[in-house]
Amino acid sequence: MASYFKRVVRPSIRNYLTYVEGKNKFFGSIKLFFELLKPDALIYPDMVCVPTTYCSLRCKYCNNLMPCYEKPYHAPADQVISDINTLLSHTDHCIKLVFLGGEIFLYPELTKLINAVKNHPKVMCLSLVTNATVIPDDAFLDLYASISNARISISDYGVSTQKIEEFTAKCREKGIRYQVNVDKSWRDAGGTENRGKDIPQLTKEYNECFSSRYCHTLQNGKIFTCARAASLVDLGCMDGEHDSFDVRKPRSDKEFRRELREFFTLDYADACKYCDHGKKIAIPAGEQL
């Protein structure tokens, strides 16, 4: 098993210090550190949730393979909420709960989803990731602005349909915390074919990848090793048996915590067989098909 310190403790403290609002962050991080050391603690740096595979862009090199969906879908909010509630019922702290798509503002039940998780005592930071092509209506923005630990992360790829200025002006008007991430280049993840890598190579690549620490992804009732793994399984490119944790499987609280902690420290991910991130080839971000 890969180091719990490297995969869970250090990223959790980092995300706490970076994203969680509040005073006395130093003392808070010390307290969190000691909580993380408890043998049955279930604390993780973030959980990415994908309720929709619809996207308003068609990025040629999308790491999460959204343009590969011939039939994109919206997951029913009741099911997504049920999965999140199951997960959080066994969780001590989720430092950052992230909703991602596709494009999250195309999700028709986003208000219902946000109402279900807002101000959840176990979620330290709530985040939406958007490409700013869709400006949500005032009712949604007012709801989001009322949530004390919420923020929006805006990915700016320089695509002409992105409304970065308009979106950020709305956030400022409503008092919503936001950050703009200007992405000029990505790493090429390549196609969905199996590259036939051996376990030592997979171990090396998974451990070097940012996603092994910061991108565990909840989709269709399962947590995956990264967002690309979730899409690869969803698209039928791999089976996902090794790379997923079934949230819906009945377990005791003790079993859930132990098995998910083990999952967070997997040595490798099968998904890395279907990914070229390890080659570190830079490509232009957001190039459209």
User: Using the rule CB under 6 A, is 285 a contact of ligand SF4?
Assistant: no
List alpha helices for the chain, DSSP H: 4, 10-19, 25-36, 77-89, 110-117, 138-145, 164-174, 199-208, 211-214, 227-234, 253-264
**Helix, strand or coil, per DSSP, at residue 4:** helix
Yes or no: say if 270 and 143 are a contact pair by the CB < 8 Å rule: no
Three-class secondary structure of residue 49 per DSSP:
strand
Contact 148, 177 (CB under 8 A): no
| 59 touches ligand SF4 by CB under 6 A | no
Q: Which is nearer to ligand SF4, 9 or 189 (CB)?
A: 189
Q: Where in 151-170 is the site for ligand SF4 (CB under 6 A)?
A: none
Nearer to ligand SF4, 156 or 205 (CB): 205
Q: Which stretch binds ligand SF4 (CB under 6 A): 47-55, 125-133, 209-217, 254-262?
A: 209-217
Of 117, 159, 209, 260, which lies in the binding site for ligand SF4, with binding defined by CB under 6 A?
Answer: 209
Percentage helix, strand, coil for the chain under 3-state DSSP, each rounded to 5 = 40, 20, 40
Site stretch for ligand SF4 (CB under 6 A), options 19-27, 162-170, 192-200, 207-215:
207-215
Name which position in 80, 114, 275, 285 contacts ligand SF4 (CB under 6 A): 275
**For ligand SF4, which is the closer residue by CB, 33 or 69?**
69
Phi/psi at 29 (5° precision)? -70, -35
- Please pick, from the candidates 47, 66, 100, 272, the single residue that binds ligand SF4 as defined by CB under 6 A: 272
What's the rounded Cα separation, in Å, for the pair 172 and 162?
17
Sign of the dihedral defined by the CA atoms of residues 174, 177, 181, 182, in that order = positive
Q: How far is the CB of 39 from ligand SF4 (least distance, A)?
A: 27
SS3 for 259?
helix
Cis peptide before 102 (omega within 30 of 0): yes
The answer to whether 205 contacts ligand SF4 (rule: CB under 6 A) is yes
Of 35-43, 47-55, 89-97, 273-281, the segment contacting ligand SF4 by CB under 6 A is 273-281
Complex with ligand SF4: residue 151 or 213, whichever CB lies closer: 213
Binding stretches for ligand SF4 (CB under 6 A): 189, 205-206, 209, 211-212, 225-226, 228-229, 269, 271-272, 275, 277-278
